[in-house]
Amino acid sequence: MTGARLLGLGVYRPARLVTNDEIAQQVDTSDAWIRSRTGIATRRIADAEETTAAMGAAAAEKALAAAGLTADSIDLVIAATCTSPSQIPGVGPQIAYRVGAARAGAFDLNGGCAGFSYAVSTAADMVRGGGVRQVLVVATERLSDYTDWADRSTCILLADGAGATVVGASDTDEIGPAVWGHDGSRHEVIQVPGGDDNLFRMAGQSVFRWAISLVPTVRQICERAGVAPEQLAGIVPHQANLRIVEALATGIGATNAAVARDVVDSGNTSAASIPLGLASLLDAGRIRRGDPVLLFGFGAGLTYCGQVVRCP
Ligand code: ACO
C-alpha cells in the first residue's frame, strides 16, 4: 500500500504588523493585559490585496518550491478556510488557478481552526487510497474581515495569514492516524451568526476550558501514532492562546518537544496557525526534516483533529 508524507511547507505572513498598543488605542485594553491573558504581542493584519486566495496562493507557491514540484504535478487542491470572503464561490479553485494547477480538482474544507489537520488527514487518506498522488493543502484565513474591532475580548486575538503543504505518495507512511471529534451541541460557543451580525463571536472562557480538557485527546494522538510524548521533537497546537498551547504541551508530558509559540508574534490565524507554527519552529532550527511533530487543531464547531507527522 502507498504511504503519504508532507513534501514541503510554505507560509505567507501579511506585511502589516499590529501591536497591542495600537489595539489599545481603539478599545479599553492594554499591552500588559493582552500579553498576560493570551501571550500575544503582535499580529499580522492583511491589506486589501492580501485576500484569502492571494495569501493562500503565495503560501502554496512556496510549498511547491520547497517540495521541488511544479503546479502541473498537483492532482487536487484543498483550501482549509473558515473566512472565505463569500459563501460562493470557494477559495480552493481560485488558489488552483493562481498557482497554475491546471489539471487539479479543487474544493474548500471548513474545519474551523482544526481545518489544516482535517485537510492533511483527508489528503493523506486520498493518497493512500491511490486516487491521487499529490495534494496541495492550503490553510488561508482573513479573520480581520469578521472581527468586531469594538469587542475587546476577540479583536485582541484574531489575525490573518496562510500556510500550505504538499501531501504526496511515499514508500514510507509519515502521516499518523488522525484523532478527531466534535461537540456540535455547543456550536454557538464560537460563531459568525450571519444576517445582521456577520462578525466573530466567542464565549472565550467556555472555549478555554474545553480546549484545556482535550489533554487526554492529545495524548491519544501519540498513542495512535505509536510515539511516546517524550519522543516528540515538536508540538504545534492551534495557536489560539499561549496559555492553552503551553497547557496542552505540558499536559501530555512532551518534555523534549519544541513548542510552537507563533501566537506571540502572529496572533490567532485559525486554520493557518498550525502551518505557521510549524514553519516558525523549522525556521528557528528547533526541529528538522524527518522529526516527529504533533499537530493539533481545535475550535469552531466545536471540533478538533490532530496527528503526528514527520516534518517536511
Ligand atoms: N482587555 C482588558 N480586559 C478584558 C479584555 C481585554 N482585551 N477582554 C476581556 N476583558 C475583561 C472582561 O470584560 C472581564 O471583565 P469583568 O471581570 O469586569 O467582567 C475580565 O477581563 C475577564 O474576562 P474573561 O473573558 O473571563 O477573560 P479571560 O481570562 O477568559 O480571557 C480570552 C479572555 C483571552 C478570550 C480567553 O478566554 C481565551 O483565550 N479563550 C480561548 C479563546 C480560544 O482559544 N479561541 C480558539 C478558538 S476560536 C479561533 O481560534 C478562531
C-alpha cell, 179:
484523532
pLDDT digits (tens, 9 = 90+) for 196-230: 999 999 999 999 999 999 999 999 999 999 999 99
DSSP-derived secondary structure for 237-280: E--S-HHHHHHHHHHHT-TTPEEP-THHHH-B-GGGHHHHHHHH
In the structure, what pLDDT confidence band is assigned to residue 127 with cuts at 50, 70 and 90?
A: very high
Q: Can you tell me the mean pLDDT for 82-111?
A: 97
**Cβ atoms 108, 91 nearer than 8 A:** yes
- Name the residue at shortest CA distance from atom 36 of ligand 1: 204
Chain position carrying cell 480538482: 105
pLDDT at residue 290 greater than cutoff 80: yes
Cβ(113) – ligand 1 distance below 6 Å: yes
Q: Are 29 and 39 in contact (CB under 8 A)?
A: no
**192 class by beta-carbon count within 10 Å (0-12 exposed, 13-18 middle, 19+ buried):** middle
Asked if the model's pLDDT at residue 291 lies above 70, the reply is yes
Is domain 179-310 in CATH 3.40.47.10, yes or no?
A: yes
Residue 113 catalytic?
Answer: yes
- The finding on whether 153 has its CB within 6 A of some atom of ligand 1 is yes
Instruction: Write the class of the CATH domain 3-170.
Output: alpha beta
Interval 44-93: pLDDT, tens:
999 999 999 999 999 999 999 999 999 999 999 999 999 999 999 999 99
Q: Does the CB atom of residue 190 touch ligand 1 within 6 A?
A: yes
Among candidate residues 238, 241, 305, 311, the one labeled active-site is 238
**Considering only CA atoms, which residue is closest to atom 29 of ligand 1?**
37
271 Cβ inside 6 Å of ligand 1:
no
Q: Is the CB of 152 under 6 A from ligand 1?
A: yes
Give, using CA atoms, the residue closest to atom 14 of ligand 1.
153
Q: Sign of the C-alpha dihedral, residues 78, 65, 263, 160?
A: negative
**1: pLDDT strictly greater than 70:** no
**CATH 3.40.47.10 residue ranges for the chain:** 3-170, 179-310
Work out the pLDDT band at 105, boundaries 50, 70, 90.
Answer: very high
